Amino acid sequence: MYSERMSARSFSRSMHCLRGWAVFSFLGCVFLPGCTKVVYPVTTGSHAPYSESENKPHRYVVWATHPALSAGIVQFLQVNRQIVVERSRLESVFTEQRLRLTHTADDEAQLLRVGKLIGAERIIFADHTINHSYLLFGGDGGDLVSVRVRAVDVESGEVKWSGSAWYPKSVANVEDGIARLTSRAIWRALCPIEQGYTWTESSASNDGGCSR
């Protein structure tokens, strides 16, 4: 019972920080290319059951495929008083041990092992996709953007939380779109549905987000 109360309090603080962060990110919405029409993101997310251990700060490494992704995640961690281990420390170990990433599924295991060596407790893996919407094929000439974010425990390999966000239509500013999607993906991943919260997607008539 004590553990449940502590987790709820910790989550309440996190949700307060996330709400402010999401508002700062303008609800995740962006404009379509060539007009003032707004496009809103679609999200999915989940997390592992919460325990009392979630109340303490953890040491994180952020491994992202885009600077806007990395910056958004680091901002989230710092707002929530988590400890960020510089990615350069991870890269230096790879150099010292002459390890190479193969861009396959084996990379994650390598990163988790090296992350543990430098004292990280979790690695946040974040990747993005950009697909051009070609006019020739009925598109609008903009870019379709999506992001995926996962926090993985280096000891157990357990995914502590994961979230995805994407725009159903192309956007005019890709970097801005990635930054906004990052906040929505994390917010969705951490939304404590099991504690009575409800997730609502943002729209023209609703700010959306995690609330109860």
The tally of CA atoms less than 13 A away on the side-chain side of residue 131 is: 11
Question: What is the residue-averaged pLDDT of the chain?
Answer: 80
Whole-angstrom Cα distance, residue 43 to residue 193?
14
Which CATH number describes the domain made up of 2-206?
3.90.950
Whole-angstrom Cα distance, residue 62 to residue 77?
10
Residue range 84-93, pLDDT digits in tens? 988 888 778 8
How many residues does this entry show for the chain? Answer: 212
CB atoms within 10 A of CB 189: 22
Q: Is residue 185 a contact partner of residue 147, using CB atoms and an 8 Å limit?
A: yes
Beta bridge partners of 149: 126, 163
pTM: 0.79
Helix, strand, coil shares, percent, the chain, to 5: 40, 25, 30
Q: Any idea which of 53-67, 83-97, 116-130, 166-180 has the lowest mean pLDDT?
A: 83-97
Asked if the model's pLDDT at residue 195 lies above 50, the reply is yes
Those residues whose C-beta lies under 8 Å from the C-beta of residue 36, and which sit 6 or more positions away, are none
* Banded model confidence at residue 124, pLDDT cuts 50, 70, 90: very high
Asked if the model's pLDDT at residue 210 lies above 90, the reply is yes
